[in-house]
């Protein structure tokens, strides 16, 4: 198993641009989530999904969209990038019936 | 809302000294988890505690879950440079299925 994969590893955007951060897992996990990590702020939940076709907002959803058309993929879309979205983004998945989360390697995003 | 607090936020020790981080939840938890994030890396699941008063050991790491299931601690005996990183605790959000609430983390640095 490749586990949780994320692309790209690094990205620089200009204010107003849009982009999609990719996340995929090959462990057949139903629950997937997106976090952002900023210095001193810990991990903050952006959006999550309990299965294909089902998504919901987390703590900081504004400026982000998600979709879950398959169990494997959970992309995060930035609609119109802002400097406040400069952060490290982690995708995670959780085995059925469990709570522990398996994180991807992260995407470091800079918005200028 | 539900909060998970960790102290201290930072800890610097000499190699060989012990280290402890504490985690307190505003609500009773069904379980608590600990994660380690190396500098530049992603959070990695270490352990889950479920029972009141539970103590688990992983080599030099000792994890405790409080009797009231609202607090937890991680103790590292005789730190080594490989222990450097940020340690997070996390507990399930009340009524939130598999959603986790993370503490802000304790960043451990070690002087060799």
**Per-residue confidence at B83, pLDDT binned at 50, 70, 90?**
very high
Contact B43 A100 (CB under 8 A): no
Which pLDDT score is estimated for B1?
81
**For residues A56 and A38, what is the distance between their CA atoms, to the nearest angstrom?**
22
Would strands B106-111 and B10-14 be described as parallel, antiparallel, or unpaired?
parallel
Q: Mean per-residue pLDDT for A71-93? A: 97
- Of B9, B35, B98, which is closest to A94 when you measure between CB atoms? B98
| Contact across the interface for A41 and B97, Cβ inside 8 Å | no
Q: Tell if the CB–CB gap between A103 and B42 is shorter than 8 Å.
A: yes
Average of per-residue pLDDT across B85-111: 91
The pLDDT assigned to A1 comes to 74
pLDDT class of A39 with cuts at 50, 70, 90: confident
CB pairs under 8 A between A and B: 47
Mean pLDDT over residues B36-58, rounded?
Answer: 97
| Pairing label, strands A10-13, A107-111 | parallel
- The mean predicted confidence, pLDDT, of chain B is 95
pLDDT tops 90 at residue A41:
no
pLDDT at A14 over 90: yes
Q: What is the mean pLDDT of residues B19-30?
A: 97
Q: Which of A41, A58, A105 sits opposite B104 (nearest CB)?
A: A41
Interface contact flag, B88 A40, Cβ < 8 Å: no
Q: Which residue in A has a C-alpha nearest to residue B43's C-alpha?
A: A103
Q: How confident is the model at residue B2 (pLDDT cuts 50, 70, 90)?
A: confident
How are the residues of chain B apportioned to helix, strand and coil, as percentages rounded to the nearest 5?
Answer: 5, 55, 45
Give buried/exposed letters for B23-61 (b at 16+ CB in 10 A, else e).
Answer: bbbebebebbbbbbbeeeebbebbbbbeeeebebeeeeb
The whole-angstrom separation of Cα B54 and Cα A89 is: 33
pLDDT at A79: 92
What per-residue confidence (pLDDT) applies to A87? 98
Q: Verify whether the Cβ–Cβ distance B98 to A42 is below 8 Å.
A: no
Length of chain A: 112
């Amino acid at each position: 198993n490749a586990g949780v994969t994320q692309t790209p590893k690094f990205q620089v955007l200009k204010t107003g641009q849009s982009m999609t951060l990719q996340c995929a897992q090959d462990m057949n996990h139903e629950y997937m989530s997106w976090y952002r990590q900023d210095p001193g702020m810990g991990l903050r939940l952006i959006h999550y999904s309990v299965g294909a076709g089902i998504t919901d907002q987390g703590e900081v959803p504004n400026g982000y969209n998600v979709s879950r058309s398959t169990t494997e993929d959970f992309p995060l879309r930035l609609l119109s990038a802002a400097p406040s979205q400069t952060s490290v983004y982690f995708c995670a998945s959780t085995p059925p019936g469990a709570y522990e989360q398996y994180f991807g390697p992260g995407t470091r995003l800079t918005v200028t | 809302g539900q909060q998970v607090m960790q102290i201290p936020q930072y800890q610097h020790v000499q190699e060989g000294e012990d280290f402890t981080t504490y985690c307190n939840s505003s609500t009773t938890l069904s379980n608590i988890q600990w994660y380690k994030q190396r500098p530049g890396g992603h959070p990695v699941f270490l352990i889950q505690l479920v029972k009141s008063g539970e103590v688990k050991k992983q080599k030099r790491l000792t994890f405790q879950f409080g009797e009231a299931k609202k607090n937890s601690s991680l103790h590292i005996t005789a730190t080594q440079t490989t222990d450097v990183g940020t340690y997070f605790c996390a507990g399930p959000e009340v009524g939130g299925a598999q959603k986790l609430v993370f503490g802000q983390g304790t960043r451990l640095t070690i002087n060799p």
